[in-house]
Amino acid sequence: MIIVRLDRVMADRKMSLNDLAEQVGISNVNLSQLKTGKVKGIRFQTVNAICKALHCQPGDLLDYIEDEK
C-alpha cells in the first residue's frame, strides 16, 4: 500500500494547499484529493512540480507499507 505524506511535507515547509496548488498548476480539489490519498494515480509531471515547489524528493512524499493478508 502506498501512503501519501504530502500533508507532512507541506507542514514541514509551512506551505498552504492554496499556495502549493498555485505553484504546481493544479486545482485545490485535485491537490486535496492527492493529499488525503483519494487518488488512484499521479503523473510524474505532477510529482516533479510538487517536488520542485517543496524542495523535496519523491520518496519524501510517498511511503510503502506491505499489505497485510
Q: pLDDT tens across 2-54, in order?
A: 999 999 999 999 999 999 999 999 999 999 999 998 998 999 999 999 999 99
Please report how many Cα atoms fall inside a 13 Å half-sphere around the Cα of residue 31, on the Cβ side.
Answer: 21
Structural domains of the chain ordered from first start: 2-64 (1.10.260.40)
Distance CA 2, CA 31 (A): 17
Q: What is the pLDDT of residue 62?
A: 94
Q: pTM of this prediction?
A: 0.89
Question: What is the C-alpha to C-alpha distance for residues 8 and 54, in angstroms, rounded to an integer?
Answer: 11
Residue 69 has pLDDT above 80, yes or no: no
* pLDDT value of residue 60: 97
CA 5, CA 58: separation in Å to the nearest integer?
10
d(C-alpha 37, C-alpha 14), whole Å: 20
